[in-house]
Amino acid sequence: MRILVVEDEPTLQAQLVEALAAAGYVADRAENGIDAHFLGDGETYDAVLLDLGLPRMDGITVLKKWRAAGRTMPVLILTARDSWHEKVAGIDAGADDYLAKPFHMAELLARLRALIRRAGGHASAEIACGPLVLDTRIGRVLADGQTLALTGHEFRVLAYLMHHQGEVISRSDLVEHIYAQDFDRDSNTVEVFIARLRKKLPAGMIETVRGLGYRLAAPGGPT
Classify residue 107 as exposed, middle or buried by CB count within 10 Å of its CB (0-12, 13-18, 19+): exposed
Looking at residue 153, its amino acid is: H
| Alpha carbon 196 to chain centroid, angstroms | 22
| Nearer residue to DNA within complex by CB, 109 or 169 | 169
Q: What is the closest distance, in whole angstroms, from the C-beta atom of residue 66 to DNA in the complex? A: 28
Binding mask 40-79 for DNA (x = CB under 7 A): ----------------------------------------
147 part of the interface to a second copy, by CB under 8 A: yes
Sign of CA dihedral 69, 177, 139, 144: positive
Contacts of 54 by beta carbon, 8 Å cutoff, 6+ apart:
6, 8, 32, 33, 36, 62
Q: Which of 54, 179, 201, 217 binds DNA (CB under 7 A)?
A: 179
Q: Which of 81, 85, 104, 199 binds DNA (CB under 7 A)?
A: 199
Q: Which residues here bind DNA, judged by CB under 7 A?
A: 151-154, 171, 179, 184, 187-189, 191-195, 198-199, 208, 210-213
